[in-house]
Structure 1
Amino acid sequence: MPSKTTLKDLANLAGVSVSTVSKALNDSPEIGLKTRVRIKEIAESCNYIPNNIARSLKSKSTKTIGVVIPAILLEFFSKVLYGIEIEATKRGYKLIICLSNEKQKKESESIDTFINGSVDGIILSLAEETQRLKSYAHLDKVSKYNVPMVMFDRVTKDVFCDTVTIDDFECSYEATSFLADHGSKHIAFVNPISNISVGQLRCEGYLKALKDRNLKPLIIDVDHYNQIEKDLTRTLKEQKIDGVVCADEYSAILTINVARLNGFDVPNDIAVIGFTNGLMSEHSIPSLTVVSQHAENIGKKAVELLIDRLEGKLVSDPVHEVIHTHIIERNSTKKLN
């Protein structure tokens, strides 16, 4: 394997000092335009790649953000990641992205990778296993090494850092109230994410909305999406249901399918509302009414918070940003007369 071209190699080829090459590649006005162009052409012809590690040691900044997300296949996290990338690029930062795949061990390994100086700060959404076990010791290392961190969506008060969330309790309260206001009186809650903070808060919001209307709750907790068909089918045969609040987008799509498979019309027999405004929601049959979480805005705000923290613009106490949501009404719910 051929060795990498160094600044010294470029300096020898250009007949200038290493300092001149470095300044030229960084567009320093100290170097004349003609010389800068010539050195850049030589660097390009030699396939020169800057040594970012050496550069970061000198500047004490990598201009890189580490991101840890639980899953990439869920559209919510894809949209958040898109927002992160847009804002990071705008602010001159690169990304290193790791997937925890909902495992605490993989999340911890990602943190270990980042705190060695490869990034300036971290953006993280907690893995399901981390929240279920309430195991946050690996995150204590982040503050120990003075690496700024922003948590989004799945967060915990047990870790001292900035956060970006929606008000999951209030959003679920509003979603449940929306169904009740549109005529549903027997509203179930399908929850495949009861082990994580957002699922718990959404369940609490659902319960409060029913309590305020003297309606009886019916909670269908499942450990995995593949249980929804069996458990919901059994419940539909045993209980009267005319509305369903689902804790996320995928469970809402499955709920629509199960209801229709069992001979129910959506929304005339059973109205359904979910979370996250993704492509599945828009193109399901019928199209899904959702609480839009503005995932892209969550990603952008996380980057803004992190960079503001890096630049010393925030107070010492953690900042908690709440992204406003709204309901997008589609065909899975009844229209008001």
Structure 2
Amino acid sequence: MIKLTLKDIANHFSVSISTVSKALHDSHEISDKLKNRIQEFAKENHYRPNKVALNLVNRSTKSIGVVIPDILNYFFIQVLYGVEKVANERGYSIISCVTDHSLKKETMTLEMLSSGSVDGLIISSVASERQTSKHIENVKSIVDYQIPLVMFDRVIDAIECDKVIVDDFEAGYKATKYLLETGCKTIAIITPINKTKIGRLRIGGYKRALKERDIPFDDKLITPIGAKDDLDFILSFILNDKNIDGILVLDEITTVKTMAIIKARGYHVPNDIAIIGFTNGQLSKYVTPALTMVSQHGTYIGETCAHRLIDRIEGLSSPGGFETKVVKTSLIVRESTRKIPLG
């Protein structure tokens, strides 16, 4: 079947393409008789508007770009779900891109998306400690081009735009305080995000909880781990300290791996060692014992980002007046931690 175009309809009725377009959009400028004839003809011949052509005319793509650093992190999957849910409700589609924590890939992705393929961008940038002035300028250029931008989670303070962030300090504090209240006295941290601002904030909350109990901070209990590091080997050093009875792990996959290794070495979770992780994903619910986790409410963050961005795109937000929304976390208590003693 040959696809019917506006030009074909115009030729059929010996009118201009503009007249056909107005008739299909029920414009009062066209007589009811001609409108009805054109609309009926379009319907009978299964006319569908060319969205690409309409976008060029309207200077709108009805698409938003979402840039995340890691697709294996369940938190970012939750955010994507929230963004897509709201985008669909408001008539937008999304183009999602993963940077794999690469500055080069992020720069290339932003250049591609900001060249006119989307109406606005939602970004969680790469680790802040790796940001250079050139990289910040690359992100800033999006704002300079007047492309609406919302940053979430891993944001750049120097960029003026709407932001949605997690209260990571409180999250670290809340998790550590709970471990202490259950009777843990020596709590180690395993952090795959040691070089990020959010990692530092979570450790800051950990320090605050220790200070309230007059427990001195020991930096030897903080263990950074990279993607290529052998977690089993690293945990052997942590477990050599027989006093450790609690572990806080700053991402979900590492939390699950940590518990598996600890159990394989003959420790009981939570009686010997209690464990709390971050990001309340599917993995944490179905392992044994089920893991106590810090929920960052990724779906809500995605929904909030999408609403803010689309409001900017559609001119529903006042120019400037950028806001930073801080989202509180929740501690989802399961079997990997002891119960708080009564009394």
Please give the TM-score of this superposition, normalised by the length of structure 2.
0.88
Question: 1:230-245 alignment to 2 at 5 Å?
Answer: 230-245=233-248
Q: Do the aligned partners of residues 26 and 223 (structure 1) sit closer, same or farther apart at CA in structure 2, a change above 3 Å counting?
A: farther
Q: Is the 8 A contact 2:166 2:329 kept in 1?
A: yes
Is 1:334 aligned to residue 333 of structure 2?
no
Partner of 2:118, secondary structure, is: coil
Q: Do the aligned partners of residues 332 and 35 (structure 1) sit closer, same or farther apart at CA in structure 2, a change above 3 Å counting?
A: same
Instruction: Tell me the amino acid that sits aligned with residue 93 of structure 2.
Output: K
The answer for the alignment partner of 2:227 in structure 1 is 224
The answer for the alignment partner of 2:77 in structure 1 is 78
Distance, in Å, in 2 between the alignment partners of 1:285 and 1:33 is 66
Distance, in Å, in 1 between the alignment partners of 2:273 and 2:245 is 4
Deviation at 1:173, TM superposition (A): 0.5
Question: 1:26-65 alignment to 2 at 5 Å?
Answer: 26=25, 32=35, 35-44=38-47, 50-52=50-52, 54-65=53-64
Deviation at 1:35, TM superposition (A): 3.6
Distance, in Å, in 2 between the alignment partners of 1:101 and 1:126 is 10
Which has the higher mean CA deviation after the structures are superposed, 233-242 or 148-157? 233-242
Deviation at 1:84, TM superposition (A): 0.1
Q: Do the aligned partners of residues 58 and 210 (structure 1) sit closer, same or farther apart at CA in structure 2, a change above 3 Å counting?
A: same
The answer for the alignment partner of 2:185 in structure 1 is 185
Distance, in Å, in 1 between the alignment partners of 2:37 and 2:180 is 72
The answer for the alignment partner of 1:150 in structure 2 is 150
Deviation at 1:150, TM superposition (A): 0.5
Distance, in Å, in 2 between the alignment partners of 1:41 and 1:97 is 37
Distance, in Å, in 1 between the alignment partners of 2:25 and 2:41 is 13
Which has the higher mean CA deviation after the structures are superposed, 165-174 or 302-311? 302-311
Number of residue pairs matched by the alignment: 331
Instruction: Tell me the amino acid that sits aligned with residue 255 of structure 1.
Output: T
Q: Is the 8 A contact 1:24 1:39 kept in 2?
A: no
Q: Is the 8 A contact 1:155 1:197 kept in 2?
A: no
Deviation at 1:191, TM superposition (A): 0.1
CA deviation vs aligned residue, 1:89-119 (integer Å, no higher than 9, x gap): 1122121222212111111112112222222
The answer for the alignment partner of 1:168 in structure 2 is 168
Is 1:278 aligned to residue 278 of structure 2?
no
Distance, in Å, in 2 between the alignment partners of 1:200 and 1:24 is 60
Partner of 2:88, secondary structure, is: helix
Identify which of 305, 315, 325 aligns with 1:321.
325
The answer for the alignment partner of 1:264 in structure 2 is 267
Is 1:69 aligned to residue 71 of structure 2?
no
Q: Is the 8 A contact 2:4 2:45 kept in 1?
A: no
Q: Is the 8 A contact 1:71 1:101 kept in 2?
A: yes
Which has the higher mean CA deviation after the structures are superposed, 190-199 or 32-41? 32-41
Instruction: Tell me the amino acid that sits aligned with residue 326 of structure 1.
Output: S
Please give the TM-score of this superposition, normalised by the length of structure 1.
0.89
Q: Do the aligned partners of residues 51 and 88 (structure 1) sit closer, same or farther apart at CA in structure 2, a change above 3 Å counting?
A: closer
Which has the higher mean CA deviation after the structures are superposed, 176-185 or 10-19? 10-19
Share of identical aligned residues, percent? 41
The answer for the alignment partner of 2:112 in structure 1 is 113
Instruction: Tell me the amino acid that sits aligned with residue 141 of structure 2.
Output: K
